[in-house]
Amino acid sequence: GAVVSQHPSRVICKSGTSVKIECRSLDFQATTMFWYRQFPKQSLMLMATSNEGSKATYEQGVEKDKFLINHASLTLSTLTVTSAHPEDSSFYICSASAVRGYTFGSGTRLTVV
Amino acid sequence: DAKTTQPPSMDCAEGRAANLPCNHSTISGNEYVYWYRQIHSQGPQYIIHGLKNNETNEMASLIITEDRKSSTLILPHATLRDTAVYYCIVRVHGGETSGSRLTFGEGTQLTVNP
């Protein structure tokens, strides 16, 4: 139980375009989901907390207008990287709070060329 | 959430027990110790958590000292597939209704050698 599905697993986009990443809780409802970013050889850095039906809470230094988060239902949160640039290339991971702890998606490798 | 300290890397021979330490000297009475691991290019995977008693599941054992200032994750018979970064995290156990965030330190890179 407590599975989080993240899609796509890998995406390559051109600089200046936008990319949407989906995070779905498959067998439970997630009032709150979390978005992380991970650069090579570094730990996960929390970007924002996504709350169903309300605005996301962003960590300090994360541009809310660049990383748009929508959590319109109890099973789906989306992260849209707008006007992507090469420095946005990273591994993006979502997570949801479940009964025994936090469950993570398998991650999305974003490459901006 | 209390801060944790872990060694940056460890090696273990395949088939032997891997013992990963974690210091959390500022842990509060209501904070649990969680362990996750991240295999390269995948999302973190939950391993185990505990409050003060030792815990065991199909993946690992968690030994928490009596003063709760440190803990050890034990993989009893490490395999090559256990090579990963292991994260020790201390936080209040909130479950579904908590919504409080989970923050990661640097973790320990465990390498299991054949």
Q: What pLDDT, on a 0 to 100 scale, did the predictor assign at position B100?
A: 67
Average pLDDT, chain B: 91
Q: pLDDT tens digits, residue range B17-27?
A: 999 999 999 99
Q: What pLDDT, on a 0 to 100 scale, did the predictor assign at position A100?
A: 67
pLDDT at A76 exceeding the cut of 90: yes
Q: What pLDDT, on a 0 to 100 scale, did the predictor assign at position B96?
A: 43
At A87, is the secondary structure helix, strand, or coil? helix
Q: pLDDT tens digits, residue range B65-106?
A: 999 999 999 999 999 999 999 999 998 765 444 456 788 999
Q: Which of chain A's residues have a Cβ under 8 Å away from the Cβ of B104?
A: 36, 43-45
From the candidates A6, A75, A104, A111, which should be mutated to test the interface with B, based on the most B CB atoms within 10 A?
A104
**A34 CB within 8 Å of a chain B CB:** yes
Mean pLDDT score, A73-100: 92
Q: pLDDT tens digits, residue range A27-62?
A: 888 888 999 999 999 999 999 998 888 889 999 999
Across the interface, whether the CB atoms of B94 and A109 are under 8 A apart is answered no
Across the interface, whether the CB atoms of A104 and B45 are under 8 A apart is answered yes
Pairing of strands A45-51, A57-58: antiparallel
pLDDT at A65 exceeding the cut of 60: yes
Among candidates B87, B95, B101 on the partner chain, residue whose Cβ is nearest the Cβ of A49: B101
Q: Which of chain B's residues have a Cβ under 8 Å away from the Cβ of A32?
A: 98-99
Q: What pLDDT, on a 0 to 100 scale, did the predictor assign at position A51?
A: 86
Residue type, A8: P
Q: What is the C-alpha separation between B22 and A10, in angstroms, rounded?
A: 33
Distance from CA of A17 to the nearest CA of B (A): 24
Q: What pLDDT, on a 0 to 100 scale, did the predictor assign at position B97?
A: 43
From the candidates A33, A62, A77, A97, which should be mutated to test the interface with B, based on the most B CB atoms within 10 A?
A97
B39: pLDDT confidence band, cut at 50, 70 and 90?
very high
Radius of gyration of chain B (CA): 14
Among candidates B38, B46, B97 on the partner chain, residue whose Cβ is nearest the Cβ of A102: B46
DSSP B24-52: -TT--TTEEEEEEEE-TTS--EEEEEESS
Higher local confidence (pLDDT), A80 or B97: A80
Distance from CA of A83 to the nearest CA of B (A): 24
Q: What is the C-alpha separation between A20 and B50, in angstroms, rounded?
A: 36
